[in-house]
């Protein structure tokens, strides 16, 4: 079968672009640990106040030294605030929303998820060394969206 030269060039160029884009995805997954959320868990947003976990959102230590942070996003704040976690320990965030869709991003890190009413977004990160981070809402949620910020304090781990 005869394929025109220009057609052949375009076919190879299109195939090359596909490989480039696929490569970019695998590169970000491998090198920057950017992944889609993979945790599917539901929670009733209308009874959050009496929910055993999200009724009192807090940082809870586990026996192995890691911590679980339950976060409720609500127009226009995060709870708890500030969030205090130890450095160099696995920190599992469990985030939900009490009203509309919010975002939860620890600025400057890959800790980033959506806070969706009815769902629990969960991911685990480790912060190396103590420091302070800004937490920002990255989903437009209302007139004060730009003011919806929180603080994450990473403290030196206790011996
Ligand atoms: Cu909450 Cu934007």
As a whole number, mean pLDDT of residues 102-121 equals 94
157: pLDDT confidence band, cut at 50, 70 and 90?
Answer: confident
Atom of ligand 1 nearest to the CA of 100: 1
The confidence score (pLDDT) of residue 159 equals 56
What's the CA dihedral at 65, 62, 53, 128 to 10 degrees? 20
Ligand 1 contact via 138 beta carbon (within 6 Å): no
Each residue of 5-20: pLDDT tens digit?
999 999 999 999 999 9
The pLDDT value given to residue 129: 87
Atom of ligand 1 nearest to the CA of 141: 2
The region, left, alpha or beta by phi > 0 then psi within -120 to 50, assigned to residue 13 is: alpha
- 102 close to ligand 1 (CB < 6 Angstrom): yes
Closest atom of ligand 1 relative to the 76 alpha carbon: 1
Residue nearest atom 1 of ligand 1, based on CA coordinates: 102
For residue 158, the model assigns a pLDDT of: 63
Q: Is the CB of 141 under 6 A from ligand 1?
A: yes
**What is the per-residue pLDDT for 101?**
95
Label residue 33 by pLDDT band (50, 70, 90): confident
> Considering Cα of 135, then 140, then 141, then 144, what sign does the dihedral take?
positive
Per-residue pLDDT reduced to its tens digit, 52-99: 999 999 999 999 989 999 999 999 999 999 999 999 999 999 999 999
Query: Which DSSP helix (H) or strand (E) runs through 32?
Result: helix 5-32
Please tell me what DSSP assigns to residue 126: E
Q: What are 89's two structure tokens?
A: 């320990």
């Amino acid at each position: 079968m005869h394929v025109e030269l220009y057609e052949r060039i375009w076919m190879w160029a299109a195939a090359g672009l596909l490989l480039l884009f696929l490569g970019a995805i695998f590169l970000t997954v491998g090198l920057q640990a950017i992944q889609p959320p993979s945790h599917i868990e539901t929670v009733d947003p209308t009874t959050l106040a009496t929910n055993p976990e999200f009724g009192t959102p807090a940082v809870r230590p586990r026996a192995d030294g890691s911590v679980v942070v339950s976060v409720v996003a609500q127009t226009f704040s995060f709870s708890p605030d500030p969030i205090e976690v130890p450095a160099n320990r696995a920190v599992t965030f469990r985030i939900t929303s009490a009203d509309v869709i919010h975002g939860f991003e620890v600025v400057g890190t890959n800790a980033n998820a959506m806070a969706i009413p009815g769902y629990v977004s969960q991911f685990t990160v480790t912060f190396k060394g103590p420091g302070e981070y800004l937490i920002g809402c990255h989903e437009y949620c209302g007139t004060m969206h730009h003011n919806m910020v929180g603080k994450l304090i990473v403290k030196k781990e206790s011996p």
